[in-house]
Amino acid sequence: MTQRDAWLLLVSSISGENKTARQRIWRALKASGAGTLRDGVYILPNAASAKVVFREQADDVVATGGTAYLLALGAQDEDQQRQFKALFDRGAEYSELMHRLDSLKARVKKLDEAEGRREIAVARRDAAALVAVDFFPGAPRQQIEHALADLDTAFNARFAPDEPHPARGSVPRRERKEYVGRIWATRERPWVDRIASAWLIRRFIDPKAKFLWLKNARACPKRALGFDFDGAEFSHIGARVTFEVLAASFGLEHDPAIARIGRLVHYLDVGGVPVPEAAGFAAILGGARARQASDDKLLQSMSAVLDALHASYLNTQGVHA
């Protein structure tokens, strides 16, 4: 993209009598992160995603009887370029979110686990929404990512003190035929990485897998294959969480849907690049944990969710299972 067409404008006009349509379109454009130059004139950095957003809203405007035009243009000079970019300054929003995260971290010791997970999920959802409209990312985004990681650390120190520490080294490749009909063991009351890893094992690695849910990971039987705890055969290695290690170990990381689920699990387990649907998945898992006292039944119910998510991701990629 050249400097002369670095911006995309939507110029629209809707009858003042059609207040419902005006509000609907305005909300959609605000959610997209578009800047407002004046009433009916909106701007976004020129990209494929911006064209999709503006085209959808332009079609909506025309459908209501209004007029809409899309224009690509560049700023006439550096001052105007700075003015355009200033419309996308998210500093105040990042500051507000940072204040919320600091407050939540200070309250972790007073929250029960379900409430804490719910509030963290909401914070992650809001962070992902903000990152999605941060078209000129810088230090504030990195600070939010670090703050979310610190919040997870504080939460895990109270509710999951036995979270695994990453080991050094590479991920060795395994033969699936040597891991069929085995007993797999991990810590009880599984959260994101453990539940997704158990699903991955039974769905793609060992269809006959049986699971042990351990109160104490140090009591793992020698006959069992441990995962997601220190000393387990499969656990965090380097920057990879257990789900990603299992996928890499058995050659599954090239499945685009599994890789995408891996990014979701990674974000919810140790932070990093926000995933829009992560907060929703965490909320579903939190509700399932509250309903299911049995970890086997919890895995059964969440397997249906992960199967659906995997199928959805495949369809998004244009791949058929």
Please answer whether residues 237 and 171 qualify as being in contact, where contact means their C-beta atoms are separated by less than 8 angstroms: yes
Span 26-58, pLDDT tens digits? 999 999 999 999 999 999 999 999 999 999 999
Is the entire prediction scored with pTM above 0.75?
no
Please answer whether residues 232 and 211 qualify as being in contact, where contact means their C-beta atoms are separated by less than 8 angstroms: no
Q: Where are the domains of the chain?
A: 3-86, 91-159, 176-317
Question: For the chain, which residues score pLDDT lower than 70?
Answer: 1-4, 317-321
Query: What is the structure's pLDDT at 117?
Result: 85
Q: What is the CATH number of domain 3-86?
A: 3.30.70.240
| Torsion angle of C-alpha atoms 217, 219, 223, 226, degrees rounded to 10 | 0
User: Could you give the C-alpha distances from 226 to 77, 198, 229, 291, 296, in angstroms and in order?
Assistant: 61, 11, 7, 26, 16
Write the DSSP string, 164-183.
PPPBPS------GGGGSS-E
Q: Whole-angstrom Cα distance, residue 207 to residue 7?
A: 52
Q: Provide the residue type at 253 as one letter.
A: E
Could you tell me how far CA 287 lies from the centroid of its own chain?
Answer: 18
Q: Whole-angstrom Cα distance, residue 113 to residue 179?
A: 34
